[in-house]
Amino acid sequence: MVLSFFPTKGFLGTDATFGADLNLVVQLIMGTALIAGARLAKQKRYRAHGVCQTTVLLLNLLMIALVMGPSFHQQVKPALSKVLHKWYYEAATIHAVLGMTAELLGLYIVIVAGTNVLPGWLRFKDWTWWMRTELVLWMIVLLSGVGTYCAWYLAPFR
Ligand code: HEM
């Protein structure tokens, strides 16, 4: 974590930094919000659904910019050319690739669903399929993020 205005020590009693603990808690809350948001769509409350899922997507951009992006840049990238057999780097790399895919796919879905800026041939028709796929991918990313936290901060997994 590069942001110096955070306290350095985390609050979950592990070796994690404050930023990592905050990110973990925020990500778990956001995952729950996405599942609740999917239920809103099931109840045909599409406006509330759109607001809920878009808010999470944009808040996650902030978490990537403030916590996960800088961490990846500082801790993982320098080692990638040399090692890729230690769990520390593997977990974070798999997580970052899946995470970038989920975030970009989410932005694409929000642009198609919420605006008219894309031409017809770039717009999908089967909204349910795209949104379900995104939710499943997001949950996999969330799990791989928890896995990264374990690999980085919990002694038995290091
Ligand atoms: C798309 C949705 C994403 C979700 C749901 C997600 C979730 C999580 C969670 C729960 C953690 C554990 C808390 C922590 O250690 O900070 C984490 C850590 C991490 N994520 Fe993500 N993440 C996502 C996207 C990304 C992306 C796009 C990148 C790459 C730029 C990334 C890179 C990392 C790194 C390097 C860590 C370890 C950070 C640290 O502990 O300092 N994540 N993520």
42: burial class by Cβ within 10 Å (0-12, 13-18, 19+)? exposed
Query: Model confidence at 8, in pLDDT bands (50, 70, 90)?
Result: confident
Residue 37 falls inside a structural domain: yes
Angle between helices 127-153 and 87-114 (to 10 degrees): 150
95-133 pLDDT, tens digit each:
999 999 999 999 999 999 999 999 999 999 999 999 999
Model confidence at 135: pLDDT above 50: yes
Model confidence at 2: pLDDT above 80: no
CA of 68 relative to ligand 1 center, distance in Å: 5
30-85 pLDDT, tens digit each:
999 999 999 999 999 999 999 999 999 999 999 999 999 999 999 888 877 676 66
Task: State the total domains in the chain.
Answer: 1
Residue 76 falls inside a structural domain: yes
| pTM greater than the 0.85 cutoff | yes
Model confidence at 15: pLDDT above 80: yes
Residue 135 falls inside a structural domain: yes
Q: Say what the pLDDT of residue 51 is.
A: 98
Over range 88-95, report the average pLDDT: 93
Q: Say what the pLDDT of residue 1 is.
A: 46
Which residue's CA is minimally distant from atom 20 of ligand 1?
A: 68
Q: Say what the pLDDT of residue 3 is.
A: 58
Q: Say what the pLDDT of residue 88 is.
A: 87
Does ligand 1 come within 6 angstroms of the Cβ of 89? no
Q: 9 phi and psi, to 5 degrees? A: -85, 140
Residue 4 falls inside a structural domain: no
Residue 6 falls inside a structural domain: no
Range of the domain at 108: 18-157
Which residue's CA is minimally distant from atom 38 of ligand 1?
A: 68
Residue 97 falls inside a structural domain: yes
71-88 pLDDT, tens digit each:
999 988 887 767 666 888
Q: Which atom of ligand 1 is nearest to the CA of 27?
A: 10
Q: Say what the pLDDT of residue 39 is.
A: 98
Rounded CA-CA distance 28/2 in Å is 22
Residue 7 falls inside a structural domain: no
Residue 48 falls inside a structural domain: yes
Q: Say what the pLDDT of residue 80 is.
A: 75
Which residue's CA is minimally distant from atom 37 of ligand 1?
A: 68
